[in-house]
Amino acid sequence: MFGALRSPRNILFGRGQRLALGGYVAKLGARALVVTDARMAADAQFAAVIDTIRAAGVAVTLYDGVEAELPAECIEAGVVAGRAASADVIVGIGGGSCIDAAKVIALLLTHGGAMSDYYGEFKIPGPLLPVVAVPTTAGTGSEVTPVAVVADPDRAVKVGIASPYLIPDTAICDPELTLTCPPGLTAASGADALVHAIEAFTNAPRDGDAAITLEHVFVGKNALTDQHARTAIASIGQSLVRAVDQGDDLVARTDVMLGSMLAGLAFGSAGTSICHAVQYPVGALTHTAHGLGVALMLPYALQFNRHHVTAEIATVGRLMSLVTGNSDDEAAADATIEGITKLLGAVGIPATLAEIGIAAKDLPWIAEQALGANRLIKNNPRPVDRAGMDQLVAAAFSGDRQSLSSPNQPDARAS
Ligand SMILES: NC(=O)c1ccc[n+]([C@@H]2O[C@H](COP(=O)([O-])OP(=O)(O)OC[C@H]3O[C@@H](n4cnc5c(N)ncnc54)[C@H](O)[C@@H]3O)[C@@H](O)[C@H]2O)c1
Ligand SMILES: [Fe+2]
């Protein structure tokens, strides 16, 4: 058995926990830079949370310039604000964009240089100014993960910075903060979390030699990440539809937020895979929400991997109560893919790449760019070559999921 798990020093979870923020920030510094967006900065609940920092005797500088997709300028402006304030602790409050921005601002305040110096894995030379992360969406898991995703003006697709030093010191997850998320955001971010958990659980395991965690940030499916992935899959499966349909249901909101945080712990060490690899170029072309793009790919990715991880897919379906009776793994895996397809449709995730504006002429570029994301592709349980990637994106474009399960597929069952 091999296990590897990296996580924040503190994780707080539950309604009302946001009011512990000031006490945790005061343990870490005397001058806080709070990183958020304009919507959040205008929110009364946000003001009450920030007041806990001032009440704990910490000076607060507010930077509310975070923008969707994280263009480089909004990171640079945050670094300028942090430097001017001599910030010694960074607080990220908001969706994944705000938390990722806080992580990258802490990185540049600590080590200087340009964002591009740190693209890829293990490029950060040492610890950062401490980050306290307070998510207001239930989705990305960024509050516990070693990664931040940014837009680079010189590159067509978003890029990742992955390093254990990016993991926040403290994550404070308060499901009451997600009550204001509208249905579309709840669906896209919750589906992102489901994809994180399922990709972490179905990724290829690696040999756990002693160098693996020193050489890779994402080390594949393992005994410790599986624990969190299982709970996340069950928790999100049970409550995502209710959280979308009845946004004031705090029990459902709590389940989905627990699932998103645990999915973050799972994929933060195990890694994600082909749904995320395809979403980067698709997102660049369509500017669709990250969660919507990865969720759209999930049924196709599961079908593509169906014969390589039959037992794992069957387990996903049992955890989500999508499998009836005592079906064997083969039947259960098929029922799981059907059930997940229906669930994603029920929360409004589009079914095909064509529906979100991709044209047939874009498919070769998407396949090429997706294959280039080797840190993600290497995790997939079925080896992915160009022909396989072409099949995957063609099926997701046309909606012909069954084309991925033909017994004539050269890769199916054989490898
Ligand atoms: N670092 C990671 O581990 C990781 C993982 C997955 C995705 N991401 C990144 O996270 C980003 C997506 O994050 P997201 O899905 O949380 O969305 P987001 O942060 O982009 O926010 C989307 C919108 O929702 C609004 N919003 C946030 N909280 C709200 C609330 N409680 N009520 C009403 N509106 C609210 C925001 O103001 C914004 O307008 C992408 O940039 C993606 O690349 C990062
Ligand atoms: Fe994601």
| CB-CB contact of 163 with 145 (8 Å) | no
CA dihedral 275, 281, 284, 288 (to 10 degrees): -30
Q: Which atom of ligand 1 is nearest to the CA of 100?
A: 1
| CB-CB contact of 185 with 137 (8 Å) | yes
Q: What is the mean pLDDT of residues 31-35?
A: 98
pLDDT for residue 33:
98
Among 79-93, 145-159, 218-232, 268-282, the minimum mean pLDDT is found in 145-159
pTM: 0.96
pLDDT for residue 69:
80
- Spell out the residues 6+ positions from residue 283 whose beta carbon is closer than 8 angstroms to its own: 157, 158, 290, 293
The confidence band for 410, taking pLDDT boundaries of 50, 70 and 90, is very low
Ligand number nearest CA of 268 is 1
Which is more confidently placed, 105 or 405? 105
Q: What is the mean pLDDT of residues 138-161?
A: 93
Identify the residue whose C-alpha is closest to ligand 1 atom 7. Answer: 140
Digit-coded pLDDT (tens) for 66-108: 998 888 999 999 999 999 999 999 999 999 999 999 999 999 9
Cβ neighbour number for residue 325 with a 10 Å cutoff: 7
The confidence band for 157, taking pLDDT boundaries of 50, 70 and 90, is confident
Q: Which residues line ligand 1 (CB under 6 A)?
A: 37, 39-40, 68, 70, 94-98, 100, 136-137, 139-142, 145, 147-149, 177-178, 180-181, 185, 189, 192, 290-291
Identify the residue whose C-alpha is closest to ligand 1 atom 33. Answer: 181
pLDDT for residue 204:
93
Is the pLDDT assigned to residue 415 strictly greater than 80? no
Identify the residue whose C-alpha is closest to ligand 1 atom 42. Answer: 290
pLDDT for residue 229:
98
| CB-CB contact of 72 with 151 (8 Å) | yes
Is the pLDDT assigned to residue 250 strictly greater than 60? yes
- HSE, side-chain direction, 13 A CA sphere, residue 165: 18
3-state secondary structure of 415: coil
Digit-coded pLDDT (tens) for 35-63: 999 999 999 889 999 999 999 999 999 99
CA 346/CA 344 separation, integer angstroms: 5
Q: What is the mean pLDDT of residues 231-247?
A: 98
CATH code for the part of the protein at 183-405: 1.20.1090.10
Which is more confidently placed, 107 or 375? 107
Is the pLDDT assigned to residue 243 strictly greater than 80? yes
Domain boundaries, the chain: 10-178, 183-405
Q: Which residues of 11-45 are buried (b: 16+ CB within 10 A; e: fewer)?
A: bbeeeebbebbbebbbebbeebbbbbbeebbebee
Identify the residue whose C-alpha is closest to ligand 1 atom 10. Answer: 96
The confidence band for 412, taking pLDDT boundaries of 50, 70 and 90, is very low
- From residue 312, how far is each of 153, 205, 231, 337, 412 by CA, in Å? 39, 12, 14, 12, 16
As assigned by CATH, the class of the 10-178 domain is: alpha beta
CA dihedral 79, 85, 87, 91 (to 10 degrees): -70
Digit-coded pLDDT (tens) for 305-334: 999 999 999 999 999 999 988 899 999 999
- From residue 114, how far is each of 105, 175, 229 by CA, in Å? 11, 35, 34
Structure-block tokens of residue 133? 């992360």
